Amino acid sequence: MEAKFVKYKKLIESQLENLDLEDALGRDSQKTVELDQQSVGRLSRIDALQSQAMAQAQQRRRNNLKALLQATMSRLNNKEFGYCEDCGDEIEDARLLANPVVTKCMTCLRG
Ligand SMILES: [Zn+2]
């Protein structure tokens, strides 16, 4: 595997690890909310439901990002990574480093 690919592979792996850590933290806070609901009044219950909804939205965001990162990882393994899915040009390195899941070059992104 090219050095450039190894660099992106490490980047994606560390982002996936971070997501796993956040998942674990998110599960803990959702658990706490469930316990709280049994012992608190109506207003606190609304608060608890709101933070639970927020935790669930964050979970969905993480799940989406995880799927994108995994798809990016298989593009890396198939050597398809780094090329625009529309025109086939190379995607700018700086953009890939900032966010490795991008699949289009700036020209195609702007339409
Ligand atoms: Zn393009």
Is 102 a domain residue? no
Q: Ligand 1 center to residue 67 CA distance, Å?
A: 22
Is 15 a domain residue? yes
Is 57 a domain residue? yes
Q: Ligand 1 center to residue 93 CA distance, Å?
A: 14
Is 21 a domain residue? yes
Paired with 83 in beta bridges are: 90
The sign of the dihedral angle between the CA atoms of 72, 74, 76, 79 is: negative
Q: Ligand 1 center to residue 65 CA distance, Å?
A: 22
The model's pTM: 0.80
Q: For residue 71, what are the domain limits? A: 3-82
Is 91 a domain residue? no
Is 93 a domain residue? no
Number of folded domains in the chain? 1
Q: Ligand 1 center to residue 63 CA distance, Å?
A: 27
Mean pLDDT across the chain: 88
Is 29 a domain residue? yes
Helix (H, G, I), strand (E, B) or coil at 86: coil
Alpha carbon dihedral 79, 89, 62, 1, in 10-degree steps, equals 20
The pLDDT value recorded for residue 42 is 74
3-state helix, strand, coil split of the chain in percent (to 5) is 75, 0, 25
Is 108 a domain residue? no
For residue range 6-64, what is the model confidence (pLDDT) as tens digits? 999 999 999 999 999 999 988 877 666 565 555 567 778 788 888 889 989 999 999 99
